[in-house]
Amino acid sequence: MSVKSVIAAATGTALLLMGIAPTVAAEPRPLPIIVHAGKSDGLYHALAVQFAEAMAKGDDTLTPVVEESQGSVQNIIDAPLRGPNFVFTAPPSLIAQARRGDKPFTRNPRYRDIRSLFPLPPMVMHWLVRRDSGIDGFVGLAGHPFVPGGKGSFGERQTVSALHVLGLETTVQLIDIDTNGASAALLGNQVVGIALAGNYPLPAVTELARAAPMRLLSLSRSELAQVLAADDSTVRQVIPKGTYPGIDDDVTTIALPAGAYTTARMSEATAYAVTKAFWSQKIDLGQRNPPWDAVTPATLSALGVKLHPGALRYYREARIPVPKALQ
């Protein structure tokens, strides 16, 4: 028996003789990670549940708990008030807005403590038209009825903005109907096209493309430059060919990026573990939920916020290039 074993055995016997139970080293308790990600029926909440499950599978010392919130604005406002193991989802443009103190935010220097971990699937614009309409570009929409998206939705705002900067807002007949009615109107040839927004592949687009030959409108280089200049919250996005039935070319569009964020109060070890656990499961996550295939190391640049030192350590160890702006 080793010296350590003899001492341990003697100590244990002495404690029992004195009526004191020897202490046993406790197993490490799983680390609770609180994840805030919008309303339970929202897109970001669904994504949060998916990546939380992946994190827990990738590292059994992590225990993510997904909590419902009122949305990205509340997530950012809550970030300075919550504990160190707080993760939330938001578009990077909204974090920039909070740091400037623009409404609905008020100035708070602690917004500077927000740090990024990893990207989420972006909200992608799909401008869909019937192939038999003969329309192959935005200019071709002039004089035709088109559904810009649900009232007040991200899709409608981006469509109206794009048509405005392209000088088409007075020539395209915008039709105000709900999303379900829009799909029926498109298939019934009552409108030439509709705008839909979401993570690709978007099931609604897949269904419509299977029901009738469709085309996704692609922004030219000059059109893209104009659209992005009008709204710095969006980025260039390519929908790869073959994503949808009958769409055999890459489509250049715009998207609203989003990411998983925390604050500088999270420990380096925890941020490292969370980031590593996510990426260790990313391939499996994409196989089960195809929109995650859009998240690649190349999409790190869209996070728009410096990485947490723990996350940065993971990316460096994994030899994943990190833009200087995030370091």
Domain count, the chain: 2
Give the pLDDT of residue 25.
Answer: 47
In a domain, 12, yes or no: no
Give the pLDDT of residue 217.
Answer: 98
Same domain, 42 and 189: no
pTM for this model (two decimals):
0.87
Residue where a domain terminates, one of 227, 254, 281: 254
- Bridging pattern class, strands 86-90 and 251-263: antiparallel
pLDDT-based confidence at 38, cuts 50/70/90?
Answer: confident
Give the pLDDT of residue 150.
Answer: 87
Residue where a domain terminates, one of 219, 254, 289: 254
Same domain, 114 and 261: yes
In a domain, 14, yes or no: no
- Spatial contact of 326 and 300, defined as CB atoms under 8 Å apart: yes
Same domain, 117 and 71: yes
CATH of the domain at 55: 3.40.190.10
Closest CA to 234 of 37, 74, 91: 91
Return the half-sphere exposure (C-beta side, CA atoms, 13 A cut-off) of residue 110: 11
For the stretch 87-146, pLDDT in tens is: 999 999 999 999 999 999 999 999 999 999 999 999 999 999 999 999 999 999 999 999
What DSSP letter does each residue of 104-155 carry, written as one string? T----GGGGGEEEEEEEEEEEEEEEEEGGG---SGGGGTTSEEE--STTSHH
Same domain, 102 and 133: no
In a domain, 278, yes or no: yes
CA dihedral 310, 312, 313, 314 (to 10 degrees): 90
In a domain, 55, yes or no: yes
In a domain, 167, yes or no: yes
In a domain, 7, yes or no: no
Same domain, 219 and 164: yes
For the stretch 195-221, pLDDT in tens is: 999 999 999 999 999 999 999 999 999
Same domain, 150 and 243: yes
Same domain, 137 and 221: yes
Give the pLDDT of residue 136.
Answer: 95
Same domain, 164 and 249: yes
Same domain, 89 and 106: yes
Same domain, 243 and 136: yes
Owning domain of residue 69: 31-121+257-326
